[in-house]
């Protein structure tokens, strides 16, 4: 007894494409490429190939293009594997409203930074850090904070470091077994440099990113933010 | 997304507020979301920006999904809306970035793109695929997500499986014809017989 629902939509493999129509020919080729061809599909394909040998050429070309397109596609979407959910989204109203307010920006890292400020009551990158480093301590003996402080001070004296962005962007938060939270964040140091070559990113017709040199005469004073 | 499709139980838990389930659901769907974004976004918009935008929307709005079976269709619309919103602000910001290239010791920072013939063809085919009509482009790209079946694509697009199969087959033919047309344009016409 056939228990199938007579009103159910047939699944793709259950249909018999008509090789005499363009769509039927395309579907047969597509099924072979996707390894979905049934023995009946193969029989129909061979019968078609006897009267139209170009179907073999089209199959080969379609197969090759499918592989190349698949590679290109996987390269394009590889970035998806590194995009995680914003971890600190809470159910409380105030955070939700803040999240809404930055929704247009489209990046959750900024939202996480805002939340971190609330949590601590003080931006991590604020200038209230301990700034008294024992003078005369060798760099190799300095703590990471001391070494960073020295780098910033030396950079400012040399005109290389402009400053540090006070807000830190949270990349990841990991609750620990002891109730604490490990926070992975980005510190942003602003540097300046004099250069004779400036490039702008541009897209080719195929979508590839390429550098385009900007003549010095075209450079105007501007800010990116 | 595995061949069996997403775990409806996990989706139900995520809708109910289980964050571990939500994280799991996102991880099993993010490549699929990327395929939808790729099919609908403008070329200048960064995919990772859009993915982050969808991730935020997922956290904020998943409670609006009434039943797990409707989740994929809902998530697809979230992705399409994000892509269409276009991230114009982000694009403008990026266009404002200047890449600095110093002298001598900084020379190695200069971008020097190298393209193999295969990579060039891949970029060309991707570009041609992006020029297909939307109704063909989206299922064709979704099919490139490993393990995504016609049925799963049909569920997401709320179309019959047979329609999806036909669109993918037609899309592949269109791609062959477009690529073939480009090749013919590249090949110089043979000199006419008798010409000097």
Over residues B160-175, the pLDDT tens digits come to 999 999 999 999 999 9
Task: Provide the angle, in degrees to the nearest 10, between the axes of the packed helices A54-77 and A22-33.
Answer: 60
Residue B194 lies in a domain: no
Does residue B163 sit in the same domain as residue B121?
A: yes
Residue B92 lies in a domain: yes
pLDDT at A94: 43
Residue B61 lies in a domain: yes
Does residue B147 sit in the same domain as residue B171?
A: yes
pLDDT digits (tens, 9 = 90+) for A101-113: 444 444 444 444 4
- Residue A19, Cβ neighbours under 10 Å: how many? 19
Does residue B94 sit in the same domain as residue B43?
A: yes
How many angstroms separate the CA atoms of A90 and A98, rounded?
A: 11
C-alpha dist (Å) from residue A154 to A90, A95, A188, B69, B117: 41, 39, 17, 60, 47
Q: H helices of chain B, where?
A: 8-15, 19-40, 47-61, 71-85, 88-96, 117-130, 134-143, 150-157, 161-186
**Of B103, B134, B152, which residue is a domain's last?**
B103
Does residue B30 sit in the same domain as residue B91?
A: yes
Comparing CA positions, the residue from B93, B27, B39 lying closest to residue A106 is B93
| Closest CA–CA distance from residue A43 to any residue of chain B (Å) | 19
Residue B98 lies in a domain: yes
Whether residue A68 lies within 8 A of chain B, CB to CB, comes out as: yes
Residue B75 lies in a domain: yes
> How do strand A209-214 and strand A181-186 relate by DSSP bridges?
unpaired
Range 206-225 of A in CB contact (< 8 A) with B: 206-211, 214, 222, 224-225
Residue B3 lies in a domain: no
Please report, for the domain that includes residue B135, its CATH number. Answer: 1.10.10.10
pLDDT at A146: 85
Chain A hits for B151, Cβ within 8 Å: 11-12
Q: Do B38 and A199 touch (CB under 8 A)?
A: no
Q: What's the token pair of residue B22? A: 């939500």
Percentage of residues of chain B with pLDDT beyond 70: 74
Residues with Cβ within 8 Å of residue A183, at least 6 apart in sequence: A116, A170, A172, A173, A174
- What's chain B's length in residues? 196
B37 band by pLDDT with thresholds 50, 70 and 90: very high
Does residue B68 sit in the same domain as residue B125?
A: no
Does residue B157 sit in the same domain as residue B80?
A: no
B86 band by pLDDT with thresholds 50, 70 and 90: low
More confident of the two residues A59 and B93: A59
- Residue B141, Cβ neighbours under 10 Å: how many? 29
Ramachandran assignment for A122, one of left (phi > 0), alpha (psi -120 to 50 degrees), beta (any other):
beta
pLDDT digits (tens, 9 = 90+) for B176-189: 999 888 777 766 55
pLDDT at A28: 92
Whether residue B63 lies within 8 A of chain A, CB to CB, comes out as: no
- Residue B156, Cβ neighbours under 10 Å: how many? 26
Q: What are phi and psi of A118, to 5 degrees?
A: -65, -40
**Of B68, B103, B138, which residue is a domain's last?**
B103
Q: What's the token pair of residue B191? A: 């000199």
Query: Comparing A31-45, A60-74, A130-144, B90-104, which segment has the lowest mean pLDDT?
Result: B90-104
Does residue B41 sit in the same domain as residue B74?
A: yes
Q: What are phi and psi of A202, to 5 degrees?
A: -140, 160
pLDDT digits (tens, 9 = 90+) for A173-182: 888 888 888 8
Does residue B90 sit in the same domain as residue B148?
A: no
Does residue B131 sit in the same domain as residue B96?
A: no
pLDDT digits (tens, 9 = 90+) for B108-161: 444 445 456 777 888 889 999 999 998 999 999 999 887 688 988 998 899 999
Please, what's the largest Cα pairwise distance for chain B? 79
pLDDT at B112: 45
Does residue B19 sit in the same domain as residue B94?
A: yes
Output the CA torsion sign for A8, B134, B153, B156: negative
Chain B hits for A225, Cβ within 8 Å: 93, 96
Range of the domain at B119: 113-183
**Of B43, B71, B103, which residue is a domain's last?**
B103
Q: Give the CA dihedral A136, A140, A141, A146, nearest 10 degrees.
A: 70
pLDDT at A13: 63
Does residue B19 sit in the same domain as residue B86?
A: yes
Residue B159 lies in a domain: yes
Does residue B90 sit in the same domain as residue B128?
A: no
How many angstroms separate the CA atoms of A65 and A71, rounded?
A: 10
Residue from the list A62, A89, A205 with its beta carbon closest to the beta carbon of B59: A89
**ipTM of the complex model:** 0.75
Please report, for the domain that includes residue B40, its CATH number. Answer: 1.10.1740.10
Domain count, chain B: 2
Is the pLDDT score of A1 beyond 60? no
Residue B192 lies in a domain: no
């Amino acid at each position: 007894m056939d228990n199938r629902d007579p009103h159910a939509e047939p699944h793709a493999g259950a249909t018999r494409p008509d090789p005499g129509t363009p769509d039927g020919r395309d579907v047969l080729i597509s099924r072979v490429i996707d390894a979905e061809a049934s023995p009946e599909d193969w029989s129909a394909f061979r019968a078609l190939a006897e009267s139209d040998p170009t179907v073999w050429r089209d199959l080969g070309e379609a197969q090759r293009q499918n592989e190349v397109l698949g590679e290109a596609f996987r390269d394009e979407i590889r970035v998806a594997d590194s995009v995680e959910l914003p971890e600190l989204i809470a159910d409380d109203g105030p955070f939700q409203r803040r999240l809404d307010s930055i929704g247009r920006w489209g990046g959750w890292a900024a939202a996480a930074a805002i939340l971190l400020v609330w949590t601590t009551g003080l931006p991590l990158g604020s200038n209230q850090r301990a700034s008294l480093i024992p003078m005369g301590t060798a760099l190799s003996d300095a703590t990471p904070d001391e070494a960073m402080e020295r780098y910033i001070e030396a950079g400012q004296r040399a005109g290389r470091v402009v400053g540090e962005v006070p807000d830190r962007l949270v990349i990841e938060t990991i609750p620990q077994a002891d109730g604490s939270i490990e926070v992975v964040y980005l510190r942003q140091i602003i540097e300046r440099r004099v250069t004779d070559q400036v490039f702008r990113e541009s897209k080719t017709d195929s979508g590839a990113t390429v550098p385009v040199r900007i003549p010095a005469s075209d450079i105007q004073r501007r800010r990116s933010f | 997304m595995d061949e069996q499709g997403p775990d409806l139980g996990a989706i139900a838990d995520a809708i109910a507020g289980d964050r571990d389930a939500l994280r799991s659901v996102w991880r099993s769907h993010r490549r699929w979301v990327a395929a939808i974004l790729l099919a609908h976004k403008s070329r200048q918009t960064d995919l990772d920006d859009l993915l982050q935008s969808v991730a935020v929307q997922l956290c904020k709005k998943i409670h609006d999904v009434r039943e797990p079976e409707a989740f994929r269709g809902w998530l697809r619309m979230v992705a399409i809306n994000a892509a269409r919103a276009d991230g114009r602000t982000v694009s403008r910001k990026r266009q404002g970035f200047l890449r600095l290239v110093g002298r001598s010791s900084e020379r190695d920072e200069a971008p020097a793109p190298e393209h193999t013939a295969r990579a060039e063809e891949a970029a060309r085919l991707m570009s041609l695929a992006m020029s297909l009509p939307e109704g063909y482009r989206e299922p064709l790209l979704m099919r490139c997500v490993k393990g995504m079946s016609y049925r799963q694509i049909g569920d997401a697009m709320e179309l019959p499986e047979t329609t999806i199969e036909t669109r993918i087959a037609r899309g592949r033919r269109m791609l062959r014809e477009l690529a073939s047309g480009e090749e013919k344009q590249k090949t110089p016409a043979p000199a006419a017989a008798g010409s000097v």
